[in-house]
Amino acid sequence: MEKHVAKWWDAAENGMTVCKLCPRNCHIASGRTGFCGVRKNQDGVLYSLCYGYPVALQVDPIEKKPLAEYLPGTKTFSFGTYGCNLNCCFCQNYHLSRGVYDDQRKYDYIGPEVIIELAFTHNCHSVAFTYNEPTVFAEYAIDVAELARKEKLGTVLVSNGYISPEAARELYPLIDAANIDMKGFSEEFYSSMTGSKFHPVLEAIKYYFSTGGHLELTNLVIPQKNDRDEMIIAWLDWVDKELSRDVPLHFSACHPDYQYDGPPTDVETLLHIRELARKRGFHHIYLGNVFIPE
């Protein structure tokens, strides 16, 4: 695999590197990777192991991201790598988020130019950074996005929003449309269910909104964890105050996966949440991962 020097890091004592891509600020010893598993310190230099090495490539309808109000009816060329900077016990894509590159295996290098070519070959109107957490391959995403902008191709980010302000300032202005997950509206939820912090996600959401890109937000609703009325109402109040009631909101059902063995989200819960949102003046509300009869 070709080496690609990472951005957003500092050298430290004893050959250590401090990664500043996300709020974890991993201190990484030589020969080791950070929490995400795809940023490695080799002899005091931090490298991105995933730059140019996607492990998932797919043509998707844009609505699958989910984006309901950006280029509806079009296709997007989606790709992702291994790695994630959260540790959600309910992860629906853990085979990628918790996957790692094997030194004994050969991976095909797919540079940014090839991604753009593939998007046009498949008649896509955009490229989507998705499947795992795109923040961990931000260098790759930036280079693809810059080329996409030159070719008048849309750029889509599907993200958990766990990113440092420094990295966000370089990546987010290049993104035409984003769907950012808000996992659960409390610090306790983020700590216990994702192994991370809550506040940086809200800051990332506000910053992306300020860039003027098209923003949609998703909340994966988990029974007895983040589905209480008080938590949902607090989330709606925050969006109303900090963003706009015109931001499309997605509330999606959770199905047991990875390390989570709780009950799936029932349709009635999602319908109730939709009614709460409507009563508070939100009208761009979408329910996902369930069949809603007409």
Summarize pLDDT for 73-92 with one digit per residue, the tens.
999 999 999 999 999 999 98
Q: Cα dihedral angle (242, 248, 251, 257), rounded to 10 degrees?
A: -100
**Within a domain: residue 63?**
yes
pLDDT at 293: 59
Residues 86 and 23 in one domain: no
Rounded-to-integer distance, Cα 278 and Cα 267, Å: 17
289 band by pLDDT with thresholds 50, 70 and 90: confident
The alpha-carbon radius of gyration of the chain (Å, integer) is 19
**Within a domain: residue 112?**
yes
Q: Say if residue 291's pLDDT is above 70.
A: no
pLDDT at 294: 52
For residue 231, the domain's CATH number is 3.20.20.70
Residues 37 and 112 in one domain: no
Residues 64 and 109 in one domain: yes
**Within a domain: residue 3?**
no
Range of the domain at 114: 56-288
**Within a domain: residue 194?**
yes
Mean pLDDT of 7-14: 96
What is the number of structural domains in the chain?
2
Global pTM reads 0.96
Helix ranges (DSSP H) in the chain: 94-97, 112-121, 138-150, 165-171, 187-189, 199-210, 229-242, 267-279
Q: How many residues does the chain have?
A: 294
Residues 90 and 125 in one domain: yes
pLDDT at 259: 84
103 band by pLDDT with thresholds 50, 70 and 90: confident
What pLDDT digit, counting tens, does each position of 229-288 carry?
Answer: 999 999 999 999 999 999 999 999 998 778 888 889 999 999 999 999 999 999 999 999
